[in-house]
């Protein structure tokens, strides 16, 4: 802790040793906002010249951590606890499955509403008999670009056996039997890899990280 000015500011020095050595000034500013308190959290530091190309990416990654941290602080102050958590459950074996869905790219802030439209369209196809009822629903995150604030994803239905209906208008695929590292999180997401690259799918309330050859990470 380098400076405290209650109730307006807290400052401290944060030193990194890896991946490069740096010393950063971190500040929390507190300002009155009607009957609430606005908290501004920021960090000032330096990067080696040869890593300047990573500046935007680092800003996006650190910024997302700060947003999550401020949300957790707000939750704790308002409810007395932080409800989100992660539990490492260890290695598990996942059965193979088939899937079909709709692939889209959208802004990160629009992911929820965009997926809602996709699932609505898929549900309508099931009601019309164009698709079989799914064994589970999922979302694959093919690319999550924090710098450009874009998400490339597929939302769809998972099946224990291959669907025989006409699926020409849908993205289809197959995930083989695999070993995975399982961790419980809110929201619950399952991460895997298929022949197209990294994917993440929403299944139950589990997150699994799976290697490309299915041997586990």
Predicted TM-score of the model (pTM): 0.57
Do 203 and 124 share a domain, yes or no? Answer: yes
Q: What is the CATH number of the domain that holds 196?
A: 3.20.80.10
Please report which residue ranges of 85-171 form alpha helices under DSSP H.
111-127
Do 200 and 94 share a domain, yes or no? Answer: yes
C-alpha distances (whole Å) from 25 to each of 22, 53, 55, 141 are 10, 22, 17, 34
Backbone angles phi, psi at 13, to 5 degrees: -100, 130
Do 113 and 55 share a domain, yes or no? Answer: no
Write down how long the chain is. 217
Beta bridge pairs of residue 173: 99
Identify the residue with better confidence: 12 or 138. Answer: 12
Mean pLDDT of 169-175: 84
Question: Is residue 185 a part of any domain in this protein?
Answer: yes
Question: Is residue 217 a part of any domain in this protein?
Answer: no
Task: Write out pLDDT tens, residues 33-42.
Answer: 888 888 888 8
- pLDDT bin (cut points 50, 70, 90) of residue 11 is very high
Do 93 and 170 share a domain, yes or no? Answer: yes
Do 93 and 197 share a domain, yes or no? Answer: yes
Query: CA 192, CA 202: separation in Å to the nearest integer?
Result: 11
Domain boundaries, position 144: 89-209
Do 28 and 120 share a domain, yes or no? Answer: no
- Classified as helix, coil or strand, 3 is strand
- Number of domains within the chain: 2
Q: Which of 50, 79, 108 is the endpoint of a domain?
A: 79
- pLDDT bin (cut points 50, 70, 90) of residue 184 is low
């Amino acid at each position: 802790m380098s400076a405290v000015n209650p109730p307006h500011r807290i400052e401290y020095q944060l030193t990194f040793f890896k991946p490069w050595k740096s010393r950063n000034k971190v500040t929390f500013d507190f300002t009155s906002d009607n009957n609430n308190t606005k908290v501004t959290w920021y960090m000032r530091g330096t990067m080696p010249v040869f890593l300047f190309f990573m500046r935007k990416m680092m800003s996006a990654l650190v910024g997302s951590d700060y947003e999550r941290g401020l949300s957790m602080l707000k939750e704790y102050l308002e409810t007395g606890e932080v409800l989100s958590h992660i539990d490492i459950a260890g290695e598990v074996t996942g059965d193979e499955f088939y899937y079909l869905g709709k692939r889209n790219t959208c802004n990160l802030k629009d992911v929820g509403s965009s997926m809602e439209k996709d699932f609505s369209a898929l549900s309508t196809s099931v009601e019309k008999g164009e698709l079989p009822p799914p064994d589970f629903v999922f979302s694959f995150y093919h690319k999550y670009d924090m710098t450009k604030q874009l998400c490339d994803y597929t939302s769809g239905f998972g099946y224990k056996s291959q669907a025989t209906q006409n699926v020409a208008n849908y993205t289809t695929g197959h995930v083989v039997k695999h070993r995975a590292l399982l961790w419980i999180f809110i929201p619950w997401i399952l991460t895997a890899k298929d022949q197209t690259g990294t994917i993440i799918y929403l299944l139950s309330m589990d997150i699994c990280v799976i290697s490309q050859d299915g041997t586990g990470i």
